[in-house]
Amino acid sequence: MLRPTPASPLLSLPGAVPAEAPDEGVAAHYGDLFREQRALADGSGFVDLSHRGVVTVTGPERLSWLHLLLTQHVSDLAPGHATEALILSAHGHIEHAVYLVDDGATTWMHTEPGHQEALIAYLESMKFFYRVEVADRTDEIAVVHLPAGSIAEAPESAVVRETAHGRDLFLPREGLESFAAESGPAIGVLALEALRVEAHRPRLGLETDHRTIPHELGWIGTAVHLQKGCYRGQETVARVHNLGKPPRRLVFLHLDGSEVHLPPHGAPVRLASDGEEGRQLGFLTTSARHHELGPIALALVKRNVPLDAQLLAGGTAAAQEVVVEP
């Protein structure tokens, strides 16, 4: 059972419509989805991500210790340098995805809403004699996202994680409303999700299931470092990378724009030529309405699905683009 994060105070802003799972606690949008998307794409506004879990690790051995547990090379992580990493099962299946930065004294990371307790439980079980301390900071620290190109200034109290996609701020939760007043307009998570789908970026719990391995989603390179030492699940990563191919692959879908409703997460993907009773070849992971591209989606399909095949996603016609090569 995932512990919900308290609802954001920004849900009281004019026009705020609460988001649904897995993003309960923040706004889906503030009344104009496409305007919010365009603003975000242009580098304006911010997205309230205060529902995400926040975990910190302190202690003189924090980076060398995390290096043993994560798929990413972090033993020499420079202060202010952002990265992302996974925690895998012994069989190489994805269990956690973390987005982190170190400020020289503390490693800050955010993870999917409600997942911080399981993440902390795993980290605590691996402490042994290392000089590290792990803390759940979710109740006191809120994450907000500034898009690439934003000229908004981060408060002095914030820890900044800067990437090509924008800046994530770890902000004291009591400062969230004043930040919103100074850095608006507020933009809902649906706009950020649409741009994430456009950029083919996977998300834990949506693009993953209990047997997903990093190769299927294109997480090799961005979240998995192939030239680092041992970590749990590394054998699977190395074997698939060197000797084989992943059983499934992530694809980007252009959906039929004449449909009123978007197919939901988990909707079956089939060959269009086989119709709605055909054999299931995968499932839709995230769908969105994009301000320029129209209805779009990501899906996870079997590796041998022909690259030029027309598909059905939950009964909706879909044309695919390659994200992960077969």
CATH 3.30.70.1400, domain 53-136, yes or no: yes
- What H or E segment, with its residue span, contains residue 41? helix 33-41
* Contact of 23 with 113, CB cutoff 8 Å: yes
Q: Which of these, 179, 302, 183, 204, lies nearest to 247 by C-alpha position?
A: 302
DSSP 268: E
Look at residue 323 and tell me whether its pLDDT is greater than 90: yes
- What H or E segment, with its residue span, contains residue 300? strand 294-302
Look at residue 3 and tell me whether its pLDDT is greater than 70: no
Distance from CA of residue 317 to its chain's centroid?
Answer: 26
Look at residue 252 and tell me whether its pLDDT is greater than 80: yes
- pLDDT at residue 72, as a whole number: 97
What tokens does 144 get?
């907000």
- pLDDT at residue 299, as a whole number: 98
Ordered DSSP codes for 181-226: HHH--EE-HHHHHHHHHHTT---TTTT--TT--GGGGT-BTTTB-T
Phi–psi pair at 292, nearest 5 degrees:
-115, -40
Look at residue 229 and tell me whether its pLDDT is greater than 90: no
Residues 260-276: tens digit of each pLDDT:
899 999 999 999 999 99
The domain locations on the chain are 9-52+140-199, 53-136, 247-325
- pLDDT at residue 256, as a whole number: 95
Look at residue 247 and tell me whether its pLDDT is greater than 80: yes
Q: Which of these, 19, 71, 52, lies nearest to 170 by C-alpha position?
A: 52
In the predicted model, what is the mean pLDDT of residues 200-220? 97
Residues 145-185: tens digit of each pLDDT:
999 999 999 999 999 999 999 999 999 999 999 999 999 89
Handedness of CA 58, 63, 66, 70 (dihedral sign): positive
- pLDDT at residue 141, as a whole number: 97
∠ at Cα 132 (130, 138), nearest 5°? 145
What tokens does 291 get?
């301000």
Distance from CA of residue 5 to its chain's centroid?
Answer: 17
**Homologous superfamily of 247-325:** Aminomethyltransferase beta-barrel domains (2.40.30.110)
In the predicted model, what is the mean pLDDT of residues 220-229? 92
Residues 284-313: tens digit of each pLDDT:
999 999 999 999 999 999 999 999 999 999
Q: Which of these, 190, 189, 200, lies nearest to 297 by C-alpha position?
A: 200
* Contact of 38 with 47, CB cutoff 8 Å: no
Distance from CA of residue 103 to its chain's centroid?
Answer: 22
Look at residue 2 and tell me whether its pLDDT is greater than 70: no
1: pLDDT confidence band, cut at 50, 70 and 90? low
- pLDDT at residue 168, as a whole number: 98
In the predicted model, what is the mean pLDDT of residues 124-129? 96
Residues 50-103: tens digit of each pLDDT:
999 999 999 999 999 999 999 999 999 999 999 999 999 999 999 999 999 999
